[in-house]
Structure 1
Amino acid sequence: MKVVTIIGARPQIIKAAAISREIANNYVDRIKEIIVHTGQHYDSNMSEVFFTELNIPRPDYNLNVGSGSHGVQTARMIEGIEEIVLKEQPDYVLLYGDTNSTLAGATAASKLNIPIVHIEAGLRSFNRRMPEEINRIVCDHLSTFLFSPTRTGYDNLVREGFSEENEKTFTPDNPGIFHCGDIMYDNSLHFAQMASSRSTILEDHNLVSDAFVLATIHRDHNTDHEESLTAIFKALMEIAKERKVVLPLHPRTKNKLQELADEDFCKKVIEHEGLLLIPPVSFLDMIALEKNAKMVITDSGGVQKEAYFFNKPCVILRPETEWIEILETGMAKLVSANYDKILETYNTFAADKKVKFPSIFGKGRAAEFICAKLFSN
């Protein structure tokens, strides 16, 4: 069996590690994986470092697409992916999540009648103004195999017309839907021990476990609007008066802060004693920060989950989330870019001594389940 895996954004590179690891351990003579990197994330700290640090197989192809508008970027990817799929003639094209790389891979593969495998299927924010929502819906409805990390995601697929009764052999007209657990939970379990022994991020920045807050900001609805971006940074600076806030600064956020905010405000952010701005960190360093933070404040879907994996309350800088389950546990709360809500939720979580994190993301064996289903079809 030959599988072409499409990756492009930093989280997809990490997610792909779990499937590549399962193939290497248990299917080395039965499944051949061809990895295509679209180049959607082109900064070395946002992409290249992960292949080295996590021992992920290096891409067989790199499209080097880089930045651009949604249309331009996606079109370039479709062109490059189509050429590779025609050359390789895979049995499946495997896609992750909801990025432009996902949409491009789904479009190219479906036009060439190559069955699509979508990992993280069924997730919905129910906000079609988000490009990611469009990408995930389109990919799901073009896919042959749909693997959902949560029961909620699986139920979303059923509500959209996917049948639970379909049986193999699965095809685009007879797709199979499965609740398999979260593939990032596989990776978090696998890499957590490695992070403990190899990451020096805490020592490098004199950070004490449970004495700092980890924050990440990158989504356009926060970064591209001065009012939102300013409100978030004002809240972080207020929190930083009593507890250090560590913010690995996404290139987009750094650029937009300089473009949108006035010079005096930027200076206050940069010079604030309790706000530690650092460059984007490696995956192992990120795990170390998540494991040792008191709390996480983020607009990232992946970081929301990882916070939950490591039993950390999460303040979500979005009006909605695909990960409804973590909201239902009470260990995460939506605050959007509202200054008052950010501080209120931070204070509530900081004072709560009875946090509970029930198991909702499986048992860390999603990659095993996925490969077994593909090989038995």
Structure 2
Amino acid sequence: MKKLILVAGARPNFMKIAPLMHALKNHKSIKPILVHTGQHYDVKMSGQFFDELNIPTPDINLEVGSASHAVQTARIMEGFEKVCISEQPDFVLVVGDVNSTAACTLVASKMGIKTIHYEAGLRSNDRTMPEEINRLVTDAISDVFITTSVDADDNLLREGVAADKIHMLGNLMIDSLVEQLPKAQQTELVFKLLNHDREIRLGSDFKAGEYGALTFHRPGNVDDKDTLTLLVNLWGEISQRIPLVFPVHPRTYKNIQQFGLQHDIDKYPNLYFIEPLGYLQFIHLVSRSAFALTDSGGIQEETTFLNIPCLTVRPNTERPVTVWEGSNKLIKVHDIVAEVSSIIDGEGKHGTVPKYWDGHAAERIIHLIDEL
């Protein structure tokens, strides 16, 4: 029996891990051990979240909490080393690009444990992003590289990774989406507005296909007062043509309060700022939207699968396949109004679904691990 540790440190990691845990249930030759590093504390990472995705409670929680990148990485390494000594795994599988990804790969690699990186090879080519450093570090020392798209394969080959170590097997986020979408679209969408007593409801306050979904949290967009002020007013301008629903990231909301921008938001009755959503509600919201306006990563993949126009306000993306093949488009802040207007006028970008984004990535990945 092979012993496999699966590491998750942040909420998106669990959405990638969930299909693997389902595929490994009662597996005859692989014993999974789910480790939550506790890198991100999130009230939505409560029992509700695990119930929604049908994920078993983690076997081990390191509970490292938030801190500076250096301190957090050190705490994860210290805690994870004890886990590896105790469990003596045959493999450690890490996902994505958070601090837990790099930290646990470093520990396992130094202990001679074979490491598997899912979502290997993604590159933004922007080293000001902490995630890019984590990707580079992880891929420099991993043993097995599981990729989601051809561009990731090309990046790894260019960096000197042997072709026989690279396996393009699909997208686990899409596995979760395919499995959960029918249930998600049956969830009720009733939201309480932040700073208001009023509730809004999909179907009465706004209808499916007649609103935009908004997500913003990147430091480059929300940590600078002038930039965030400009964004708030652009969102407000757009909301006069089409309602915008924004499950607000805590970082963004904190800055809105700190910069005194709540008054600007209150001027726009169709700019709906709501609390962060659980996975099922969020997928329901996005899947019924006319478009997504974002600076996030995962939503670029989900909208590509759903073939919904996505406007990503970033200078680059580590998921270029969503631009080349999918419905995603990189834009600048000053392009927002014109691009949304094009979508409203029926000229939004649509695309195709990349290879192996079919809901069966987990099965292919478990088959690979079984053969290692």
- 8 A Cα contact 1:18 1:183, kept in partner: yes
Tell me which residue corresponds to 2:362.
367
The residue identity in structure 2 corresponding to 1:335 is I
Q: Are residues 1:181 and 2:175 paired?
A: no
Tell me which residue corresponds to 2:350.
356
The residue identity in structure 2 corresponding to 1:359 is V
Tell me which residue corresponds to 2:16.
15
Task: Decide whether aligned partners of structure 1 residues 369 and 138 sit closer, same or farther in structure 2, where only a CA change above 3 A counts.
Answer: same
- Counterpart CA distance in 2 for 1:306 and 1:361 is 14
Task: Decide whether aligned partners of structure 1 residues 315 and 79 sit closer, same or farther in structure 2, where only a CA change above 3 A counts.
Answer: same
Q: Are residues 1:306 and 2:307 paired?
A: no
- Counterpart CA distance in 1 for 2:17 and 2:41 is 17
The residue identity in structure 2 corresponding to 1:93 is V
The residue identity in structure 1 corresponding to 2:370 is F
- Counterpart CA distance in 2 for 1:31 and 1:178 is 19
Among 269, 282, 296, the residue aligned to 1:273: 269
Task: Decide whether aligned partners of structure 1 residues 138 and 296 sit closer, same or farther in structure 2, where only a CA change above 3 A counts.
Answer: same
- Counterpart CA distance in 2 for 1:48 and 1:103 is 27
Where structure 2 has 5 or more consecutive residues not aligned to the other structure, the ranges are: 192-199
- Counterpart CA distance in 1 for 2:10 and 2:145 is 20
Q: Secondary structure at the match of 1:198?
A: coil
The residue identity in structure 2 corresponding to 1:13 is F
Q: Secondary structure at the match of 1:227?
A: helix
- 8 A Cα contact 2:307 2:352, kept in partner: no
Shift of 1:18: 0.8
- Counterpart CA distance in 2 for 1:254 and 1:359 is 33
Q: Are residues 1:291 and 2:280 paired?
A: no
Tell me which residue corresponds to 1:107.
106
The residue identity in structure 1 corresponding to 2:222 is T
Tell me which residue corresponds to 2:250.
251
Spell out structure 1 runs of 4+ moving beyond 6 A.
none
- Counterpart CA distance in 2 for 1:358 and 1:163 is 29
Task: Decide whether aligned partners of structure 1 residues 38 and 281 sit closer, same or farther in structure 2, where only a CA change above 3 A counts.
Answer: same
Q: Sequence identity, in percent?
A: 38
Q: Secondary structure at the match of 1:326?
A: helix
- 8 A Cα contact 1:235 1:343, kept in partner: yes
Shift of 1:36: 1.0
Shift of 1:330: 6.9
* 1:240-280 CA distance string (max 9 Å, x none): 11111000011111112222x2x2x3222145201111111
Residues 74-153 of structure 1: pairs in structure 2 closer than 5 A: 74-153=73-152
Tell me which residue corresponds to 2:207.
208
- 8 A Cα contact 1:9 1:47, kept in partner: no
* 1:199-224 CA distance string (max 9 Å, x none): 44488454410011001111222222
- 8 A Cα contact 1:199 1:284, kept in partner: no
Q: Are residues 1:346 and 2:340 paired?
A: yes
- Counterpart CA distance in 2 for 1:367 and 1:201 is 33
- Counterpart CA distance in 1 for 2:82 and 2:303 is 39
The residue identity in structure 2 corresponding to 1:11 is P
* 1:300-345 CA distance string (max 9 Å, x none): 1101111111111111021100111222247322224x2x211122
* 1:82-109 CA distance string (max 9 Å, x none): 1111111111111110001111111111
- 8 A Cα contact 1:110 1:142, kept in partner: yes
Tell me which residue corresponds to 2:48.
49
- 8 A Cα contact 2:249 2:276, kept in partner: yes
Shift of 1:48: 4.8
Task: Decide whether aligned partners of structure 1 residues 117 and 47 sit closer, same or farther in structure 2, where only a CA change above 3 A counts.
Answer: farther
Tell me which residue corresponds to 2:195.
none
- Counterpart CA distance in 2 for 1:308 and 1:66 is 33
Task: Decide whether aligned partners of structure 1 residues 355 and 255 sit closer, same or farther in structure 2, where only a CA change above 3 A counts.
Answer: closer
Tell me which residue corresponds to 2:184.
195
Q: Secondary structure at the match of 1:4?
A: strand
- Counterpart CA distance in 1 for 2:102 and 2:282 is 27
Q: Greater shift after overlay, 197-206 or 95-104?
A: 197-206
Task: Decide whether aligned partners of structure 1 residues 369 and 50 sit closer, same or farther in structure 2, where only a CA change above 3 A counts.
Answer: same
- Counterpart CA distance in 2 for 1:219 and 1:45 is 20
Q: Greater shift after overlay, 12-21 or 214-223?
A: 214-223
- Counterpart CA distance in 1 for 2:219 and 2:47 is 23
CA RMSD of aligned residues (A): 1.7
- 8 A Cα contact 1:118 1:139, kept in partner: yes
